[in-house]
Structure 1
């Protein structure tokens, strides 16, 4: 049996199995070509692409004609020639050959890889080997891209709260109103975190109600002006029944976020959104639901983040400056004679002698500057290391009844 000339044709990506890529990073790898004998090659090229695609079929006519809804969005496209087609055939000798390649992802915002029922967001590398009088050999390998979402932003750290009420239907022997008030600390969370739910359920009806909380995921696909959605519940929290004419309060009831994918909000044709729903099952009417939006991010919360660390570093620098500026032992103030000369002191004394000390009749007629000048060269108090006004430790406490 005559074996083919190509023994193996493989594609390897460096680091593709360890971690995901993000915008601006370099995707590198190599193409390994093992030959049993010499072959003639027109060209061999590698392509890198990232495409978001939404697709579904709908039957809208009586004749069972399906309407095809398809939309695509390309986020990047790269091409590199490993064996260039120069119009001549290239002879590749038998043996093992390695062809390295690399390309950089765009610096612009990319979209996280996603697989859904009506669409997907995929990134891949494809290699094509063109030979004369032979079929084109192709290899394709996908890699994951995650667009970072930092929840340490003012928008995602804002408190989410709301209130909603509803009247029960009288013909089901249920009278009164049900109201729900709920609050969560912030809008952004990461998978694995616990959301403390603060809620109050006021049951003014004549029957008991059952409060619950859900984390829902909504996948939205848009194509040709039409929209397709898929809803799913990813986490559930059940509370105790609230009796008639009673009130129940949740003081931070915990609901944990499972390992789900991050929110996708930047794609034009595919969106993934999350919501916390605090609901009440009211007998005889539809459920009362209060919705609080959530954003599932990739960068977790760091309470002592960059801003806090910068402030603390600046504070430490200020402390170092204070340590260098303030000596251990304070020096005594300079002598009065070294600051004020004898002529200035004599001139000040003569000015004070011209005005009698007990004559204050013309004090308002004198200019204010002249009045201040009299106290300009007064000598300071004598410096002494002993406190002239020591604190009295043995002070008898005053009786409050006296």
Structure 2
């Protein structure tokens, strides 16, 4: 056999819940192959697992109590998708797959409740198609290929996503000899963002101390939570949390003592999984902003904000230049072609592998556009207020890839919007004349 491979129809192998996963298995061989059948399977699910060392007690042969350490495994699995079909079977008893290029199309329906593909340190959510060619008296030939699933998380229907956020913190710097009060007010224009957006951070500083303020810095953190149990018992569920820095920004300010000033930071949201929650894995985000002074003790101030990462950007934003009418971003469609959606998306849904004469896929009204519905551009405020059509996202590999059991490390792809209009920094109360910036 010269080649056995799986090819997906969707660009970048990205699909959406409720959509049909379509593609083909290709076998190229110069001579006929002795084989009984070709099986195509699809699987998708979440899995968590880790080991912990725990102290145990037992009675030894002398009747004395002693302690020992035992390694305990915790794991959990949630299956979202399972399906299989025989794409080819020897009908004449000769067990021969013809020489040449053999193509076997397939189609599987995704459930509508699929969480996004995700690779974490204590768990993963993975989706894959795998094939097995049964060969008598030889090892079966197998192949597996992962694909990405990205649910539509529309920030426009999340009430808190558009809310501005402001937080203030004050500190009397110095340990014994107090150097004076430093106050930092941090403002964000909203809570919800999509990958590719620029997040502007406004920092107002009132340096009432005797030491200069040196730097301001921001860090965006991915907070992932994993749940698992030991053995078959679900009464003793254990939890693991992990933090991962996904973005940083820093600026030297050198604000002199007894002065006030303002600084701006910005951070581009990278290709990361949208916020989500499933029974055994959840992911959310926060951003922390810190201010550093020259004080040796107690010279750092910190504020923190929760963030929401979605896949469809907020359309209702600040007014455009020259217009009093708020800008409206048109809803964008994914760059993937409009594959038909299989109704219901039940687990283990219809499978149509076989020859090129496979039956047509059922279509739901609206097709794939029902995942990311499209809308015509809106032009508020006349010509000056015309909003350009927001470009569709690209689908870029995640910052982090997990190691699959029997293939190359897999990095899921997520939608990234690289050309969205930039948010206006949040407006804070005006300050007196600024110095040191």
Whether TM-score is above 0.5 comes out as yes
CA, structure 1 residues 7+46, in 2 after alignment: closer, same or farther (shift >3 Å)? same
Q: Distance in 1 between matches of 2:244 and 2:33?
A: 56
Does the 8 A contact of 2:35 with 2:134 survive in 1?
A: no
Q: Deviation at 1:148?
A: 2.4
If you compute each CA radius of gyration, which structure gives the higher value, 1 or 2? Answer: 1
Q: Deviation at 1:211?
A: 4.4
Q: Distance in 2 between matches of 1:203 and 1:209?
A: 7
Structure 1 residue runs of 5 or longer lacking an equivalent are 1-5, 317-402
| Highest RCO, 1 vs 2 (Cα 8 Å, sep ≥ 6) | 2
Match of 1:294 among 301, 304, 307: 307
Does the 8 A contact of 2:275 with 2:285 survive in 1?
A: no
**Residue in structure 2 matched with residue 144 of structure 1 by the alignment:** 148
Match of 1:107 among 108, 112, 115: 112
Matched, 1:161 2:166: yes
Q: Deviation at 1:139?
A: 0.9
Aligned with 1:241: secondary structure? strand
The CA RMSD over aligned residues, in Å, is 3.3
Q: Distance in 1 between matches of 2:376 and 2:7?
A: 42
Q: Deviation at 1:90?
A: 6.8
Does the 8 A contact of 2:221 with 2:247 survive in 1?
A: yes
Paired residues, number = 303
Does the 8 A contact of 2:247 with 2:270 survive in 1?
A: no
1:319-349 deviation digits (Å, cap 9, x = unpaired):
xxxxxxxxxxxxxxxxxxxxxxxxxxxxxxx
**Residue in structure 2 matched with residue 55 of structure 1 by the alignment:** 49
Q: Distance in 2 between matches of 1:141 and 1:311?
A: 38
Does the 8 A contact of 2:47 with 2:76 survive in 1?
A: yes
CA, structure 1 residues 206+312, in 2 after alignment: closer, same or farther (shift >3 Å)? closer
Match of 1:69 among 68, 71, 74: 74
Q: Deviation at 1:229?
A: 0.9
Q: Distance in 2 between matches of 1:281 and 1:254?
A: 15
Match of 1:8 among 3, 10, 28: 3
Q: Deviation at 1:50?
A: 1.5
CA, structure 1 residues 142+16, in 2 after alignment: closer, same or farther (shift >3 Å)? farther
Q: Distance in 1 between matches of 2:3 and 2:268?
A: 45
CA, structure 1 residues 228+85, in 2 after alignment: closer, same or farther (shift >3 Å)? farther
Q: Deviation at 1:190?
A: 2.4
Matched, 1:189 2:193: yes
Matched, 1:270 2:281: yes
CA, structure 1 residues 274+49, in 2 after alignment: closer, same or farther (shift >3 Å)? same
Aligned with 2:277: secondary structure? coil
Match of 2:248 among 235, 248, 251: 235
**Residue in structure 2 matched with residue 133 of structure 1 by the alignment:** 137
Q: Deviation at 1:65?
A: 4.3
Matched, 1:31 2:25: yes
Matched, 1:304 2:309: no
Q: How does 1:187-226 map to 2 (within 5 A)?
A: 187-224=191-228, 225-226=238-239
Q: Distance in 1 between matches of 2:209 and 2:108?
A: 65
Match of 1:91 among 85, 92, 95: 95
CA, structure 1 residues 90+100, in 2 after alignment: closer, same or farther (shift >3 Å)? farther
Q: Distance in 1 between matches of 2:222 and 2:34?
A: 52
**Residue in structure 1 matched with residue 87 of structure 2 by the alignment:** 82
Does the 8 A contact of 1:194 with 1:254 survive in 2?
A: no
Q: How does 1:363-374 map to 2 (within 5 A)?
A: none
**Residue in structure 2 matched with residue 44 of structure 1 by the alignment:** 38
Aligned with 1:152: secondary structure? helix
**Residue in structure 2 matched with residue 3 of structure 1 by the alignment:** none
1:91-136 deviation digits (Å, cap 9, x = unpaired):
334323322111111122x222222333222111011222333322
Match of 1:20 among 14, 17, 40: 14
Higher helix share: 1
Q: Deviation at 1:70?
A: 2.3
Q: Distance in 2 between matches of 1:183 and 1:28?
A: 45
Match of 1:260 among 271, 289, 312: 271
TM-score (norm 2): 0.61
**Residue in structure 1 matched with residue 258 of structure 2 by the alignment:** 245
